[in-house]
Structure 1
Amino acid sequence: MTRSPLKRAPRRYTALVLACALLLGVALIADFLWASSSSSSSSSSSSHWSAVFDLRLGRAEQLKKNKKYEKTLASKYLNATYADLPAPQWSWEEMAEAPVPRLDGAAVQLKNLLYVFAGYGTIDYVHSHVDIYNFTDNTWGGRFDMPKEMANSHLGMATDGRYIYAVTGQYGPQCRGPTNRNFVLDTETKKWNDLPPLPVPRYAPATQLWRGRLHVMGGSKEDRHEPGLEHWSLAVKDGKALEKEWRAERPIPRGGPHRACVVVNDQLLVIGGQEGDFMAKPGSPIFKCSRRHEVVYGDVYMLEDGTKWKQLSPMPKPNSHIEFSWVIVNNSIIVVGGTTEKHPFTKKMILVGEVFRFNLDTLEWSVIGRMPFRIKTTLAGYWDGWLYFTSGQRDRGPDDPSPKKVVGSMYRTKLHL
């Protein structure tokens, strides 16, 4: 039997509705799945950037920790290798301050008077006069000018008890060139006279009077950095040169500036020093100082009969900038302050705060005391049982041995040997 069209219509309508519902369900499921995927992706992206942020933060924290570690390690390394050597803590008394601060100046003691010459006031200003300190009454006075052509720092200097011989050195501030001009001062008349010029100029050579001749050795060459080995001498007497030219002598075994040079018991000794120094920056119109590699050493040499050099026991630690930082007391050489090797991490200069003794009877070194602070290029003197020092560049504090302020302070302590 055939069904009428009126009876088949509802079934078709029902099928159509079911198909639409099915399609709608599929769409809803797809949308849900897409949303879930998007949410998952967003969550994953968020997690990714969060991880990156955490990683960078972790690296920053690690860097901070590394810096702290390096600082701690540097401190430990300093304490282990470059720290102050064990020494008694002396009591120092502060005396009258010098009229001006000085770095790389020069000094000579004649009886109770300390003649203090030249030096940097600042890196851009140098002194060209003499100040005199009286140990007896603790006063400064008697200022007078140096010759205009005379070096302002890195001088070599020696005395015979009346005449002071000043040789070569740096002319001007910053890292300017050296001069080979030499002069002699009559301390009784305060008059200056010329001496024959050196064959070539030098910075801070070891200088002394020995057996009637003025000896000049080592120092830095004209570029201010390369060590010089040359050794010259000139016959002098009563403030006058007995020869027109300097005589070549036996070269020193190790060159360089900033050494102590001492004549005692008819022996000529050269102590400490360094190889290398600051140089003028190429092209700088003011000869601005530029850091260069330096090697500080504690070598000690003695010139035997003027014919050969003999190496003696080295200092307890490498030491430089001590050319006027010594005195002779009870057959001993006393050295105060100086500089030692650079800090291995910061590469900063390390100042010295010990007082050293070289016993000329035993030819042995010892550390006998500590200064009120670390300091380089001190100008030392000894009078009536008291050890004095003035001027130089001192440290940044008890925990920082690098150089800071140039001073004119004068200190003294009772010396017991």
Structure 2
Amino acid sequence: MAKLTHHHNHRHAPWKKWAVVATCAGLFGAALIADFFWASSSATSAYLSLASNWARQRTGIIVLPTVPSQADEKKVEEAKPKEDRERERFLSATFADIPAPEWKWEEMPAAPVPRLDGAAIQIENLLYVFAGYGTLDWVHSHVDVYNFTNNTWGGRFDMPKEMAHSHLGMATDGRYIYIVSGQYGPQCRGPVAHTFILDTKTKKWSKMPPLPAPRYAPATQLWRGRLHVMGGSKENRHTPGVEHWSLAVKDGKPLEKEWRTEIPIPRGGPHRACVVVDDRLFVIGGQEGDFMAKPGSPIFKCSRRNEVVYGDVYMLDKEMKWKVLPPMPKPNSHIEFSWVIVNNSIIITGGTTEKHPVTKRMILVGEVFQFKLDSMEWSVIGKLPYRIKTTIAGFWDGWLYFTSGQRDRGPDNPQPRKVVGDMWRTKLSL
């Protein structure tokens, strides 16, 4: 039996050798294939990295990393130590922040009242700050004045009783301030069509013809002797308007009884900056949609609606045709009075950007943007002390100022929280 067993094993020995060889070859081949795919992946990653860098250099577009899915984020978070999870619990919500230089800010005397969605006009060394929410249930109906020469607030005076309290359109010729439309009352009441003129020398108010239709936060500016009003939201506060009207004005008086229809703006919506420089009119950023009043609510309680924030930039020149310019570095809204003009550049402070893709929460902006009017290029030039929307900006004697608005919940949470009246300034040299 032993001999039989010996002959049986001897007869199958070559088969075993080939099996071992085949197994080794298979393992070796698998290793080569894995190595090939690893090398290909590395090469591809390197190529994509180079391509991304090239794209940034060539176009100025900032390429943000892909946002992981909620399931992936959860797995990553669960793998972290507990103390790290607690410390970083809000960090994923800051995905939209763009790296920028840290600036040294100096805190100045705060405004007499906190305000959100207020309006402002700077005339020489004086900043006239109008209306705005104090809280969601309380709106201001007066004007505060800040003196950049001695850095003090004073000279408060009341607005007309019929004038809107927030989301105003506003422009100036250097003495007279022209005010159009806006929201009358707190919460989410609708807009009105009323228009007014303020003589800043005498503090006297007068009226202009009402707008053809009420508008909420329209882009407004004086250009070529006419007051232009564009976009904004319609009566329900949510539906974007693309209508564009103008009215001839001079020395604080309307020269016409009716508004003239102009070329519609390519994209409607509220909360945009509107600037005139060198006989060119610019409309920057904004959004489509906004909060609406809850149906049947006796106090017009605000009800959330879908909003689309964008960074589109449009320009009108002597040809009276809208031209599309390079967009902002990221979508930005709530910047109506957040801009100043410095050394042939438009400077914009703060705002709001796209909602967080997972939490769907509003994300505030903490960057300072520069748009060079000679090259039509955008850049991010600095950081604010915190993220904040509806800032009111001014520039005087080399200092960039901003005040008021709604700030974030802290360095690690860019969601809006407290309405403030703080005033800050920093030296700005371009």
TM-score per shorter chain, which class? 0.7 to 0.9
**Which residue of 2 is the match for residue 395 of structure 1?**
408
Structure 1 portions without partners, runs of 5+: 1-61
The one-character-per-residue Cα deviations of 1:99-139 (angstroms, maximum 9, x if unpaired) are 00000000000000000000000000000000000001110
**Once the 2 structures are TM-superposed, how far is the Cα of residue 358 of structure 1 from its aligned partner?**
0.1
- How far apart are residue 200 of structure 1 and its match? 0.2
Deviations 1:267-297 (A, max 9, x none): 0000000000000000000000000000000
- The residue that corresponds to 2:218 in the other structure is 205
- Check 1:196–1:112 CA distance in 2 against 1; reply closer, same or farther (3 A cut): same
TM-superposed deviation, 1:68: 4.8
Contact 2:368 2:381 in 1 (8 A): yes
Distance 1:69 1:127 in 2: 47
CA contact (8 A) 1:250 1:306 kept: no
Describe the shift of the 1:225–1:306 C-alpha distance in structure 2 as closer, same or farther (beyond 3 A): farther
Aligned to 2:185: 172
**Cα separation, 2, equivalents of 1:201 and 1:266:** 28
Alignment of 1:114-193 (within 5 A): 114-193=127-206
Q: Is the 8 A contact 1:97 1:410 kept in 2?
A: yes
Secondary structure of 1:298 counterpart: coil
Query: What CA distance in whole angstroms lies between the structure 1 residues aligned with 2:318 and 2:119?
Result: 28
CA distance in 2, matches of 1:410, 1:135: 11
SS in 2 for 1:302: strand
CA contact (8 A) 2:93 2:413 kept: no
Q: Which residue of the other structure, out of 227, 234, 239, is the alignment partner of 1:214? A: 227
1:289 is matched with 302
Matched, 1:280 2:293: yes
Is 1:74–1:345's contact at 8 Å kept on the other side of the alignment?
A: no
Post-superposition shift, 1:307?
Answer: 2.3
Offset from partner CA, 1:240-289 (integer Å, 9 cap, x none): 00000000000000000000000001100000000000000000000000
| Aligned residue identity for 2:403 | T
Q: 1:236 aligned to 2:258?
A: no
Q: 1:27 maps to which residue?
A: none
Equivalent residues, number: 353
What does 1:45-124 correspond to in 2, within 5 Å?
A: 68=77, 78-79=93-94, 82-124=95-137
CA contact (8 A) 2:93 2:414 kept: no
CA distance in 1, matches of 2:156, 2:75: 54
**Which structure would you say has the larger Rg?**
1
TM-score by length of 2: 0.80
Aligned to 1:26: none
**Displacement after TM superposition at 1:74 (Å):** 8.9
Percent identity between matched residues is 79
Q: Structure 1 segments of 4 or more deviating over 6 A?
A: 70-74
SS at match of 2:322: strand
1:309 aligns with 2:317: no
Mapped to 1, the partners of 2:93 and 2:277 lie a distance apart of 35
| Structure 1 counterpart SS, 2:330 | coil
Q: Which residue does 1:28 correspond to in 2?
A: none
Distance of 2:273 and 2:285 partners within structure 1: 7
Task: Provide the residue aligned with 1:364 in structure 2.
Answer: 377
- In 2, the alpha carbon distance for the partners of 1:74 and 1:265 equals 47
Offset of residue 70 of structure 1: 12
Distance 2:275 2:357 in 1: 31
Tell me what 2:268 maps to.
255
- Secondary structure (helix, strand or coil) at the match of 1:308 reads coil
Give the letter for the 2:100 counterpart.
A
